[in-house]
Amino acid sequence: MRLPRKGYPLGGLGQKQGGGVVITGVEGGGNAAKAGLKSGDQVLYTSSFFGDELWPADKLRFSKTAIQAKPDSVYFVVSRGAEVDVKKLNKRSAPPRFGRKLTETQKASIARATHICLDCGFIYTLPKPFDEQPETYVCPQCIAPKKRFARYDVNTGKAIGGGLPPIGVIVGLLAGLGAVGALLVYGSLQ
């Protein structure tokens, strides 16, 4: 099941005796309650922090770190009633994400779909033109800054440009590589 994180309580998690993670509390009105999770449910898998894998939930500390590091939706696989030895589970692929295509509502406002967030795939369709948004504008889904948006092609569903990092990052990387090379040359001369 997929639980959006932003602004919604996920509930409480606890370490299970002998390994594993169990849900210890569910806040009413939160995403965990809306998804049907209950206290006592065993968490079998949680999202990895980079999002493209599901990891066995064998240690509470690792599960909490991955959940907190994930900026967008968190995936859980839970078991109710059955005891599962999560230490014997292998990691697996996360479910496919469909956030980079327009919904029917967004298609109605296709003329306004001008930009896409490079971090999470949020498609900007607000009535105010994107270029008129202040520099302090952030993605409502993952809180990425305005500079992490690229133009969006509604026909292909892909970003136009925006793939290269800022020039400062490139210059810094080249300077770092040059410094490492200089240290290697200097070290070999001695």
Residue 89 has pLDDT above 50, yes or no: yes
CATH number, position 134: 2.20.28.10
Predicted local distance difference test score (pLDDT) of residue 6: 46
Instruction: Let me know whether 131 and 109 are in one domain.
Output: yes
Backbone angles phi, psi at 112, to 5 degrees: -90, -10
CA-atom Rg of the chain in angstroms: 22
pLDDT, the chain, mean: 74
Length of the chain: 190
Instruction: Among 41, 59, 93, give the residue marking a domain's end.
Output: 93
Please work out, in degrees rounded to the nearest 5, the angle formed at the alpha carbon of residue 156 by the alpha carbons of 102 and 162: 95
Predicted local distance difference test score (pLDDT) of residue 135: 92
Q: Using a pLDDT cut of 90, give the percent of the chain over it.
A: 3
Which residue range is the domain that position 182 belongs to? 98-190
Instruction: Let me know whether 164 and 89 are in one domain.
Output: no
Structure confidence by residue, pLDDT tens digits, 137-159: 988 777 788 888 888 887 777 77
Domain total in the chain: 2
- Tell me how far apart the alpha carbons of residues 56 and 6 are, in angstroms, rounded to a whole number: 23
Banded pLDDT at 132 (limits 50, 70, 90): very high
Residue 178 has pLDDT above 60, yes or no: yes
Instruction: Let me know whether 84 and 139 are in one domain.
Output: no
Predicted local distance difference test score (pLDDT) of residue 136: 92
Q: CB–CB of 76/34 below 8 Å? A: no
**What is the mean pLDDT of the segment spanning 90-110?**
60
Instruction: Let me know whether 186 and 103 are in one domain.
Output: yes
Instruction: Among 93, 110, 138, give the residue marking a domain's end.
Output: 93
Structure confidence by residue, pLDDT tens digits, 6-25: 444 456 777 877 778 888 88
Count CB atoms within 10 A of the CB of residue 32.
26
CATH number, position 53: 2.30.42.10
Residue 24, CB-side half-sphere exposure with 13 Å CA sphere: 9
Banded pLDDT at 52 (limits 50, 70, 90): low
Instruction: Let me know whether 116 and 55 are in one domain.
Output: no
- Tell me how far apart the alpha carbons of residues 11 and 27 are, in angstroms, rounded to a whole number: 6
Instruction: Return the SS3 of 116.
Output: strand
Instruction: Let me know whether 25 and 77 are in one domain.
Output: yes
Please work out, in degrees rounded to the nearest 5, the angle formed at the alpha carbon of residue 100 by the alpha carbons of 169 and 34: 115
Instruction: Let me know whether 126 and 178 are in one domain.
Output: yes
- Tell me how far apart the alpha carbons of residues 160 and 176 are, in angstroms, rounded to a whole number: 29
Predicted local distance difference test score (pLDDT) of residue 7: 43
Instruction: Among 74, 93, 112, give the residue marking a domain's end.
Output: 93
**What is the mean pLDDT of the segment spanning 79-89?**
74
